[in-house]
Amino acid sequence: MAKLITITSGKGGVGKTTTAINLGVALNSFGKDVIVLDANLTTPNVGLHLGAPIVPVSLNQVLLGKANVADAVYEHESGTKIVPSSLSVKELQNINHARLKEVGKKLKKIADYVIYDSAAGLGDEAMASIMSADEMIIVTNPEIPAVTDALKTIKVAEQMNKKVRGVIVTRVRGVKSEMPIENIKDMLEVPILGVIPEDDNMQNALVMRNAIFHTHPKSKASQAYKKIAAAIAGVKYKEPSWLTKLFGF
């Protein structure tokens, strides 16, 4: 049965789009048909990350009733499909965010997983993505403001009877000033799905207009996303050999 997963965060700039894209690509690597939709209409980044900043038909046109959602689906070279949003401020006018739920239902008919890259926070855009979700994944950094905002998002999801599958902690540097992972888990009271280390290759992947999962497949960040995707898809994750870990073979 197809599933719609909304990737969201209480705070912006925590790596939500990077997570949505890399989980989508990782799930695709396990043979799953995946569509990543840019539900962050105000500041869309999925198309920018994957080399499709401007497309003939965008999600905005679908939400305005000017196009069918099937015409807004584009296939990345990895095989992962995306639905980009428009960069045009003009095309934000008269958008009906509530239609995201209807769009999600249609996309679930042609994919195993639909991933919504939500807007950050709890505004109308973010709430529409939450309403559309079968389940949610919260992205946070190991910092008190980000974790506090993540807690607010979890509480809102619970009030809406939406399942929160867990939390992904990104940009972890392993320094003393960060919140320990166990403390984050205790505070949020949901499972920690994975920990993504800070990785300079993330910026390199953005320049290359691809996911780090493909540009640097042996990196710790890439392997962390693969492990999370394996758990979501219910497939076995094979740990890299010690030679791979040591030398990156």
pTM assigned to the model: 0.93
pLDDT higher than 50, residue 8: yes
Q: Long-range pairs for 65-74 at CB < 8 Å and ≥24 separation?
A: 69/103, 69/106, 69/107, 70/106, 70/110, 73/35, 73/107, 73/110
Check if the beta carbon of residue 63 is closer than 8 Å to that of residue 97.
yes
pLDDT higher than 90, residue 178: yes
- pLDDT in the model for residue 153: 96
pLDDT higher than 60, residue 157: yes
Average pLDDT, the chain: 92
- pLDDT in the model for residue 51: 85
- What domains sit in the chain, N to C, each tagged with a CATH number? 3-247 (3.40.50.300)
What mean pLDDT do residues 208-218 have? 92
Check if the beta carbon of residue 42 is closer than 8 Å to that of residue 151.
no
Residue 184's alpha-carbon distances to 25, 149, 150, 155, 228, in angstroms, are 27, 12, 10, 15, 18
Which residues are registered as beta bridge partners of 37?
83, 116
- pLDDT in the model for residue 249: 46
Tokens of 45: 């980044």
Pairing of strands 81-83, 74-75: antiparallel
92-131 residue pLDDT tens: 778 888 899 999 999 999 999 999 999 999 889 999 999 9
Taking the C-alpha atoms of residue 151 and residue 188, their distance in angstroms, rounded to an integer, is 6
